[in-house]
Amino acid sequence: MSDYHPLYLEFFRHYHREEYWEAHEVLEELWQTQRHNDFYHGLIQVAAIMHQLKRGKVRGARKLATSAIRYLQSYAPQKDGVYVDQVLDWLTFCLDTLPDSVEKLDMDEMEKLQIAPCPLPRF
């Protein structure tokens, strides 16, 4: 655990407190120092998807899920404590579940879709 950057660990703490915007922001701070790091970029997008889902923003979540798959595929099955295969499965589930012709859903409709948070580790 001590091998991981403090901002990386902070990302997961915010994520599991459902502070998705804060998780996104803290990992983006680290990513800005390593712009080539698609793994971080993909995780940032996972947090952004959760932020979008909490607001019923279907189109934004779908767009982010598509690019997150692209960023994370090469890191499967696992990297830095993250089971990337599970994240990719979750992203695919989001794309399969979220309607592709809808901009936004109200929260009652979103809850009916039963999209659980992406399975990320706790450190």
- Per-residue pLDDT tens digits for 57-116: 999 999 999 999 999 999 999 999 999 999 999 999 999 999 999 999 999 999 999 999
Domain ranges in the chain? 6-113
- When the candidates are 1.20.1070.10, 3.20.20.370, 1.10.3450.10, 3.30.43.10, the CATH number that belongs to 6-113 is 1.10.3450.10
pLDDT of residue 2: 62
Whether this prediction's pTM lies above 0.85 is answered by: yes
Q: Which of 33, 36, 8 is nearest to 23 (CA)?
A: 8
- 9, 40, 55, 104, 108 from 72: Cα distances, Å: 18, 9, 24, 26, 30
pLDDT of 41 higher than 80: yes
Contacts of 88-94 with C-beta under 8 Å, sequence gap 24+, read 90/118, 90/119, 91/46, 91/49, 91/65, 91/118, 94/49, 94/61, 94/62, 94/65
- Per-residue pLDDT tens digits for 3-37: 899 999 999 999 999 999 999 999 999 999 999 99
| Sole residue written with tokens 């915010």 | 14
pLDDT of residue 112: 95
Start-to-end CA span in the chain (Å): 7
pLDDT of residue 99: 95
Instruction: Provide the mean pLDDT of the chain.
Output: 96
